[in-house]
Structure 1
């Protein structure tokens, strides 16, 4: 049957010789009909192949079985791995996921939140960007639970699922120190980035100073982001200043792979002459040559945990406590063990 000839609720009512209201009550588990009538209507629905509209049911039930997930960018590996975990948890509960790309644009984010309100989503997962007080206030008016993932909120009461970025970065640099590297640089996103820039730089600085090494501010280089092209700018800036470096901590996998590529262009062998450790633990780290040693955030598991906590909030009506996820060190081939 083509779309134009799909049966409607009116067709079901006419065929079953009952009112449209009776069909609606049966579809939405209401009352006011006999068991015999219910069976007759359900058999008619099956006979005609009628499929009730989920959003129309939601208008009655106030339940859409849908959540919204906001990403600044949907093309990256981090977004894909987070979404994999979120989708897995949603599927187990019979929920659908509306994926929205905000471009880290405040006006667009508010437009998306308005759209999700119209769609009657039952919860929101906010990822990889700052949840501002303005966004939080709008979500509060929506009266649905929200949780941030690999992000943080200006409203402290909003739960989050994330690693301790400062501690994870500290552990990355400690790993390089353990293998007798003392000339260690860092490439990062901007220190004004409170999500992933500032805390990872703090972790690097703490590990260096605790090891009794001098803090040299110019041994941290950054560009405007955490992607491959930003790594090229940061690496070249760093090595122009400090060609003696024997190891680099990169604040993302893409920055780390960029560092390996730039080193190759300069005739520097990784890991024989320069060790590189990355941060994130995406599939890109396994595809690098040499394969990248990383601090892994475990994004798929993180996405699943965030969704599980959100669904608990939806079911209970209580605010989730959030969770701090334990990072892990994955050793591969990009760090020379002196």
Structure 2
């Protein structure tokens, strides 16, 4: 799909990854530092994920973390990437984000997904009737929108702190199912191509062709997420990426561990990275120097035609991660020229 690439917003998806030898508190502090730097570098939004029962990820209490990050920044939009709605009561979500929207006017996004963000045993521990909520996901999204409506004042059940508060809803997805729903509801659509790339193109096509304008959005708006590890040289980026390879290998094998320090790239790690199962998750992992990542990013933007690009970077050292986001910002600034 042809696009000029001009004025493409670029944003951050943050998981608050916990590095080996550190604590969740360290990861959360680094998340704030990264958000402050992202704001300085011109990133549009900074979204926090929701994951549970994973030692390597500290982004679990998403709404609490959003408040922390928003309170430490000035203008960058802070949001959920996302709230896994079947884990929660729609009323509570509306109250939490209505409160956030009142505290930080015009800066809060509510991204909603239906995946558990964890394993099935933990999902059951979070909410034993979760599967009922999964089936009712479209209705529960509508319920949240109703709680935010100023017209809900006459209802028996109200989220009074949310009524009339501006908190845009984004539909998140990793399959074509979410594309149909986002199109039907006329909501902006964010696709998790950073770990589920297989259906990206089909989902974008379905969303665009079936989009129905709504009071929230008149034209389709798409966001796609990619993995980026950028460094001063290809060799340095490759070494830094060994932490991501080990982390993702743990996810694939069910042996999730803290993020490990980078090592020299080995033949064994290259074999892991080239495995079809690994590639099926990390098709859109752009690793290399500024020139290398720029070419991959421009190809991605041209082939997808997305309105906005979101970046996640699994990097062990905070300084290396900040440098990666700095380089990517320069790439996106140059694509606007």
- Structure possessing the higher relative contact order (Cα contacts under 8 Å, 6 or more residues apart): 2
- Normalised by the length of structure 2, the TM-score is 0.29
Query: Which entry has the higher C-alpha Rg, 1 or 2?
Result: 1
